[in-house]
């Protein structure tokens, strides 16, 4: 297949922008014409005969989608938890296992590089073309992003404290304010390096790590920096009952209310997770203000349903946020980094929480994974198929058994086939996934390196865990080993 086609011909179905509206619509039998990394025209199939020697993709029997936009992910760590975190939770911490894992398990930089390569390949196979990668920066991070061919927002995190534990029911915060500002300076350097890269596909996001691990002074500095540079601003907030209770203990208000009082929320702010609002069933705080504050500030929410569903927790509910006018995008907080699965789970969990099938439908979930994510990042040139938009395009095989019968191909894609039917992905008009295989990444080699790094991580848990426990005690195997 040509690496930079000038056209994609004979597309059987396409999800295109519906006029100038912020919504999608189907078109049948179209040709897409590409120029300088953008979509130049969408025309009826065959209206413009091919030119001699024109590099083209024949997309007969294909569904064309805009590339998915993942606005929150941790590719450099989460694949290292595969086989560890799926059933892991701490009852004394309302089932979240986040804090216990982070104090006991740490993946080395070699493992993080391998994890990122593996996760980026997962993203491409599931049709993601733009992603926000949230991590403590490490050597080779930006290079791996560039090699993937995807668009990335590098989000190097910084914090004033680290979580710890002294007992299952006791979370501690170890504060180092000078260290937090030093990490912020490093993050600024990494963000500038990303934006100056000659690939043109790297941008940056200002990301103080968590609402409960950053001092007001460091939050204020990060907010000012985002405003001065025009970069998106984000933080983890409303992600655990432990966090909400601690913020109420410190300040007498919920995390969202504290963030609003500090001036952290405004357009261009992406609130990562933001599930546990004051009126959530697992919080039951006496106010009912959080959702209104988010909407009035013009902040967006990055919804990642998978990790919370594993703990028995869900947003209450996606449709309610959207109806209130909050922009909701989707992310993949844990492995697998498959945004199609997150769409499906967002629909199902939203219906369970609301007891209403109409709370979120397929079109609404797809909008969140495309237009919603783009709006959260302040973009109107990604997440849509339209003239002038970036040529970030996903081609899905309509002949795949799980896509058939293709009466409504988007429903077949989200509920049935998912990544199994993705065949081709283009970013900026360049083919970066060809017949389901990443063009520039080597996930097989990355798997071997990650397996070695995970083994070291698990072996070393006895040195890091507050109780000196072995990995198999913290996260036992799903079945006993039989002799």
- The DSSP line for 219-273 is HHHHHHHHHHHT--EEEEES--HHHHHHHHHHHSS-HHHHHHHTT--STTEEEEE
| Residue (of 108, 127, 132) closest to 194 by Cα position | 132
- Over residues 115-165, the pLDDT tens digits come to 999 999 999 999 999 999 999 999 999 999 999 999 999 999 999 999 999
Residue 316 has pLDDT above 80, yes or no: yes
Question: What is the model's pLDDT at position 19?
Answer: 86
pLDDT at 1 over 80: no
Mean residue pLDDT across the chain: 97
**Integer CA distances (angstroms), 233 to 129, 226, 477, in order:** 20, 6, 38
**What is the predicted pLDDT for the residue at 22?**
86
Band of residue 341 on the pLDDT scale cut at 50, 70, 90: very high
**pLDDT attached to residue 477:** 97
Confidence of residue 379 (pLDDT cuts 50, 70, 90): very high
Q: Please say if the pLDDT value at position 464 is more than 80.
A: yes
What the block records as the tokens of 389 is 């938009």
Q: pLDDT per residue over 403-437, tens digit each?
A: 999 999 999 999 999 999 999 999 999 999 999 99
| Band of pLDDT at residue 20, cut at 50, 70 and 90 | confident
Q: Cα 375–379–384 angle (5° rounding)?
A: 85
- Residue 68 has a pLDDT of 99
Q: Give alpha helix (H) positions in 301-393.
A: 305-311, 318-323, 339-354, 362-367, 373-376
**8 Å CB contact between 294 and 326:** yes
Tell me the per-residue pLDDT of 243-272, one tens digit each, with 9 for 90 and over.
Answer: 999 999 999 999 999 999 999 999 999 999
Q: Nearest Cα to 99, choosing from 389, 398, 464?
A: 464
Separation CA 483–CA 481 (nearest Å) = 7
Report whether 471 contacts 101 (CB < 8 A).
Answer: no
pLDDT at 2 exceeding the cut of 80: no
For the packed helices 109-125 and 443-459, what is the interaxial angle rounded to 10 degrees? 140
**pLDDT band of 483, cuts 50, 70, 90:** confident
């Amino acid at each position: 297949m040509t690496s930079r086609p000038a056209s994609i011909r004979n597309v059987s179905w396409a999800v295109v922008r519906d006029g100038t509206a912020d919504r999608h619509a189907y078109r049948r039998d179209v040709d897409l014409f590409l120029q300088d990394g953008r979509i130049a025209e969408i025309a009826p199939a065959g209206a413009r005969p091919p030119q001699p020697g024109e590099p083209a993709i024949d997309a007969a029997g294909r569904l064309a989608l805009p590339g998915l936009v993942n606005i929150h992910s941790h590719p450099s760590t989460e694949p290292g938890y595969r086989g560890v975190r799926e059933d892991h939770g701490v009852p004394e911490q309302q089932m979240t296992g986040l804090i216990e894992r982070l104090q006991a398990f740490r993946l080395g930089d070699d493992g993080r590089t391998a994890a990122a390569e593996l996760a980026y390949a997962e993203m491409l196979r599931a049709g993601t073309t733009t992603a926000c990668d949230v991590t403590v920066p490490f050597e080779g991070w930006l290079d791996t992003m560039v090699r993937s061919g995807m668009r990335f927002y590098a989000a190097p995190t910084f914090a004033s404290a680290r979580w710890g534990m002294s007992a299952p029911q006791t979370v501690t915060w170890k504060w180092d304010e000078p260290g937090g500002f030093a990490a912020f300076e490093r993050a600024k350097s990494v963000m500038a390096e990303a934006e100056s890269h000659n690939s043109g596909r790297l941008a940056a996001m200002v990301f103080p790590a968590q609402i409960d691990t950053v001092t007001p002074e460091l939050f204020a500095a990060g907010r000012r920096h985002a405003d001065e540079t025009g970069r998106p601003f984000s933080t983890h907030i409303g992600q655990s009952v432990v966090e909400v209770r601690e913020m109420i203990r410190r300040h007498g208000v919920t995390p969202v209310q504290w963030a609003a009082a500090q001036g952290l929320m405004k357009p261009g702010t992406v609130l990562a997770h933001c599930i546990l609002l004051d009126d959530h069933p697992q919080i039951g705080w006496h106010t009912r203000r959080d959702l209104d504050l988010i909407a009035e500030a013009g902040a967006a929410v990055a919804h990642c349903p998978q990790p919370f569903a594993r703990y028995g927790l869900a947003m209450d509910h996606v449709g309610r946020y959207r109806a209130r006018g909050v922009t909701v995008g989707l992310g993949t907080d844990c492995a697998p980094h498959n945004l199609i699965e997150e769409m499906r789970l967002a629909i199902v969990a939203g219906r369970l929480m609301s007891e209403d099938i109409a709370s979120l439908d397929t079109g609404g979930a797809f909008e969140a994974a495309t237009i919603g994510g783009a709006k959260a990042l302040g973009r109107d040139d990604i997440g849509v198929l339209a003239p002038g938009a970036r040529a970030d395009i996903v081609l899905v095989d309509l002949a795949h058994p799980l896509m058939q019968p293709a009466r409504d191909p988007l429903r077949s894609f989200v509920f049935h086939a998912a990544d199994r039917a993705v065949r081709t992905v283009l970013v900026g008009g360049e083919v970066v996934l060809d017949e389901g295989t990443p063009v520039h990444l080597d996930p097989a080699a990355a798997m071997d390196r990650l397996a070695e790094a995970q083994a070291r991580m698990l072996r070393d848990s006895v040195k890091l865990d507050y109780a000196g426990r072995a990995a198999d005690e913290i996260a036992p195997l799903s079945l006993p080993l039989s002799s």
